[in-house]
Structure 1
Amino acid sequence: MRTVAGDITVREDDNGNNAVRLSASNTYGTLQAYLNGVIAVQLSADGSTNSFINAGNVGIGTTGPGKRLDVYDTSAAQLRVYGWDRVLGANTTGGQIQIGGHATDFAELYNTNGVFYITNTYNNAAGDIRFKTKTAGTAVDAVTIQASGNVGIGTTNPLQKLHVIGEARISGLASANYYVCVDANGDLFESATACAGSDIALKENIQPLASALLGVLDLSPVSFDWIDKQGRGSAREVGFIAQEMEKIFPQVVRTNPDGFKGIKYDVFSAVLTRAIQEQELKIEDLATQVENLTTLPDTPQNEPTSETAFLFTREMYQSTQDYLASLNLKLSDLETAKLAESSRIDLIQSDLDAVKAQLDKMGESTQSSESSASATPSSILIAIENIYNEFKSTLEALGIIKGEDGGLIMQNSLSVLGEATLIDLNITGKLTLGLLQIDGMQKIGESREASIGTVSGDLYIMPASSGLLRFMGDKIAMDTKGNLAMNEGIIMGNKSFRDAVKLTAGETTIEVAKEWESVPTSVAVTPSYNTKVWVEHVNATGFEIQVDSESDKEETLYWIAIW
């Protein structure tokens, strides 16, 4: 034992590593127990912050501790714990409090490096952390943090990183129509427009979106009910199946950490916009083709190739209609003239019948015993001679002579005022029927060609009410409504309005230079390989062709301009 002024120390040896010390002054009293030179137990009293032991309960700052440890102080902090090594009073950074005495089932409260931790995991054990509130005497789970990191508000089984049962509200926005967004740093901010970042300063490797129309046409919109009606509601919904969408547009589908798939509908709007643009181009192309169909004359510079297709314009249709109407009128005049000539031939036939009758009577008179004064041979011969002379005059007037084949050849003009039926009629030269003129020997250049035309005016060809006009061995046909069908043939034209260009492997853009007097309404392009193609910047100096996928070899693009 050692006594110093105000101190009494009971120690094991002179070093005082293991000792009990009792000290006092006019302001406080202290009882200390040392173990291996370190204070293991200390009880102090200064009149305000006192320590007491009462019936197994320890009170600090109170004379009536009601629990195993009861701490009371009028200052801001009533309990201070130091030391990561769980030694109270070690006076190091950190400290720890364990709740629960089981070796693997307890919670901890501790601080290290300025960070305060609450955990219920130790020795590989895991569990939830729940915050309860009490309403009307009943404790309710308000917030749950699962071992997976999912946080639930209003639910003890959160399915996502944040799962809220009930409504959420954010105050302080300038308007109810504003959006709450998350920026690139993870901070929340308000916006009067959508939240998706779209500034060009945020982007690189910008490319036009490839064709989307065919993909959109393959989609299957559905209606459905949610299985989790508590969390998602019981109303009937419409949308798409993410797995089906992923097969067509994988860039608009996301996969959550839990394995469930979702659709980024804000991204999908760009796909729909592209599909609408493609559909509009198709509609415009069809409208242009309907209004601007054209066919080209058969000239050397317009020789047909397999690279082009037939087009017919309204001008061709109208001109053909006018031509058919004119030809039909000429045919009508020809029919009238034919009837007139037929009447004259009938008169000649009648005269020939009269001659035959006279000859028959003459034969009968030679066999009869009676004779008539008017039926003498001389009178009959005179009658025959008169008929012959009249017939000869008619033939001479018509310019009819006997041909080498025994047929008749008419050298002069023939005017038929009545009906006439002509079989196997051969005409060398021109046949004029009113204003219609058919020339089988018209000189064109150095050769003779057949032609059908008019003396003046237009040529109209009018089919029957239900018939068709057929040309070139039924290769071309037109009905009474002006619909033109081409069963065979290809377009003919020069490079001013149609051509083919070569697309080098790896290219997606090619410029075509032209010198047009007027800008085409549109340019249609057909690629030689499976890709989507469109035309931009059409002007008097040419246009630009774009394809959405490059080829690994040289390909050909066939184009045709439409005015």
Structure 2
Amino acid sequence: MANTFPEEGNTGIGTTNPQRALHVAGQDGVIRVDRSGNSSGVIINRTASDDINTPWKVFGLLVEAKDNNDGIFRISDFGVGVAGGSKTRLSIDNDGNVEIPGTITASNLNSPSDLRYKENIAPLSDALDKVLAMQGVCYQWKQEEFQEKQFSDNSQIGFIGQDMETICPEVVFTDSEGYKSLDYSRLAPVFVEAIKQQQQLIEQQKSALEKALAKIAKLEATIEKPSA
């Protein structure tokens, strides 16, 4: 049975202290929505437009743990977010970009690569020159300045985004605030082609050296041969 409290304008099911216009409480699953047609099973529409930092005003759907530190899951017209306390654990913006502070562990991570998806295919050129121009560095994250990123305090190795943009712009992503990030997996083809180019140089030098050694051996044999 639903209990309505006119003074607050809220309706409670399973609770005598409803916190919202409709508040459902229970020990088991409290809401079930079945649909047989092709329309949306649940539509939640946000109409407020003020203070974007107020979750109940901003987010179309909010799932909140009892203890705020346990985490919050949000879906909105601003994107999707999972947070614990004041820390954002996951965000998905309207362009489909995903940001997860911390460490990601996955058994498989696949990128589309089928020939049928691609056009204007051409071999990589100057791969060795690109690799020689890269500068690997070790560094520490600026944790205090960028606390929202939840950077690790461990020593890091990698490349600098601005440097890589001049060498392999295809692997550099720039966000809406101008910060750079790298897709390190896209560097693999560059390294492969650089190794192949380097191997070609090695083979050429090996062949030239073998020919030079053969000439030297022939000259030595001529010198050592007694005159008739």
Do both proteins adopt the same fold according to a TM-score greater than 0.5, normalized to the shorter chain? yes
Q: 2:51 aligns with which of 126, 145, 148?
A: 126
Give the deviation of 1:291 after TM superposition. Answer: 0.6
Contact 2:69 2:85 survives alignment (8 Å): no
Q: CA RMSD in A?
A: 3.9
Matched, 1:265 2:184: yes
Q: 1:178 aligns with which of 107, 129, 144?
A: 107
Structure with greater strand percent = 1
Contact 2:128 2:194 survives alignment (8 Å): yes
- Does the C-alpha gap of structure 1 residues 237 and 167 become closer, same or farther in structure 2, counting only changes over 3 Å? closer
Matched, 1:321 2:223: no
**Match for 2:45: what amino acid?**
Y
**Match for 1:321: what amino acid?**
E
Matched, 1:209 2:137: no
- Does the C-alpha gap of structure 1 residues 155 and 164 become closer, same or farther in structure 2, counting only changes over 3 Å? farther
Separation in 2 of the partners of 1:149 and 1:246? 28
1:186-211 C-alpha deviation (Å, 9 max, x unpaired): xxxxxxxx402222122122111112
Separation in 2 of the partners of 1:214 and 1:202? 29
Matched, 1:195 2:110: yes
- Does the C-alpha gap of structure 1 residues 140 and 120 become closer, same or farther in structure 2, counting only changes over 3 Å? farther
Separation in 1 of the partners of 2:223 and 2:103? 78
- Does the C-alpha gap of structure 1 residues 154 and 68 become closer, same or farther in structure 2, counting only changes over 3 Å? closer
Match of residue 222 from structure 1? 137
**Match for 1:323: what amino acid?**
T
- Does the C-alpha gap of structure 1 residues 263 and 67 become closer, same or farther in structure 2, counting only changes over 3 Å? same
Separation in 2 of the partners of 1:267 and 1:156? 33
Separation in 1 of the partners of 2:123 and 2:12? 72
Separation in 1 of the partners of 2:136 and 2:12? 67
**Match for 2:125: what amino acid?**
A
Contact 1:150 1:163 survives alignment (8 Å): no
Match of residue 302 from structure 1? none
Asked which structure has the greater CA Rg, the reply is: 1
Separation in 2 of the partners of 1:157 and 1:261? 22
**Match for 1:201: what amino acid?**
R
Match of residue 250 from structure 1? 169
Give the deviation of 1:284 after TM superposition. Answer: 0.5
TM-score, L = length of structure 1: 0.29
Match of residue 352 from structure 1? none
Which secondary structure state, in structure 1, belongs to the residue aligned with residue 154 of structure 2? coil
**Match for 1:320: what amino acid?**
L
Match of residue 7 from structure 2? 67
Unpaired stretches in structure 1, ≥5 consecutive residues: 1-48, 50-59, 81-113, 170-176, 180-193, 294-312, 330-453, 457-563
Within 5 Å, which residues of 2 pair with 1:343-492? 456=228
Within 5 Å, which residues of 2 pair with 1:99-138? 115-121=43-49, 125-127=50-52, 128-130=54-56, 131=62, 132-135=64-67
- Does the C-alpha gap of structure 1 residues 196 and 146 become closer, same or farther in structure 2, counting only changes over 3 Å? closer
Structure with greater helix percent = 2
Separation in 2 of the partners of 1:242 and 1:232? 16
Separation in 2 of the partners of 1:145 and 1:263? 27
Match of residue 34 from structure 2? none
Which secondary structure state, in structure 2, belongs to the residue aligned with residue 234 of structure 1? coil
Within 5 Å, which residues of 2 pair with 1:31-110? 67-69=7-9, 71=11
Match of residue 83 from structure 2? 153
Give the deviation of 1:290 after TM superposition. Answer: 0.6
Contact 2:140 2:156 survives alignment (8 Å): yes
**Match for 1:261: what amino acid?**
K
Match of residue 286 from structure 1? 205
Match of residue 19 from structure 1? none
- Does the C-alpha gap of structure 1 residues 165 and 201 become closer, same or farther in structure 2, counting only changes over 3 Å? closer
Contact 1:155 1:164 survives alignment (8 Å): no
Separation in 2 of the partners of 1:321 and 1:139? 83
Unpaired stretches in structure 2, ≥5 consecutive residues: 15-20, 23-41, 57-61
Where does structure 1 differ by over 3 angstroms across 4 or more consecutive aligned residues? 65-74, 130-133, 138-141, 143-150, 155-169
- Does the C-alpha gap of structure 1 residues 323 and 68 become closer, same or farther in structure 2, counting only changes over 3 Å? closer
**Match for 2:186: what amino acid?**
V
Within 5 Å, which residues of 2 pair with 1:162-173? none
Q: How many residues align?
A: 186
1:21-62 C-alpha deviation (Å, 9 max, x unpaired): xxxxxxxxxxxxxxxxxxxxxxxxxxxx9xxxxxxxxxx977
Give the deviation of 1:258 after TM superposition. Answer: 3.0
1:383-431 C-alpha deviation (Å, 9 max, x unpaired): xxxxxxxxxxxxxxxxxxxxxxxxxxxxxxxxxxxxxxxxxxxxxxxxx
Give the deviation of 1:168 after TM superposition. Answer: 7.5
Which secondary structure state, in structure 2, belongs to the residue aligned with residue 116 of structure 1? coil
**Match for 2:72: what amino acid?**
A
Once the two structures are aligned, what percentage of the paired residues are identical?
A: 24
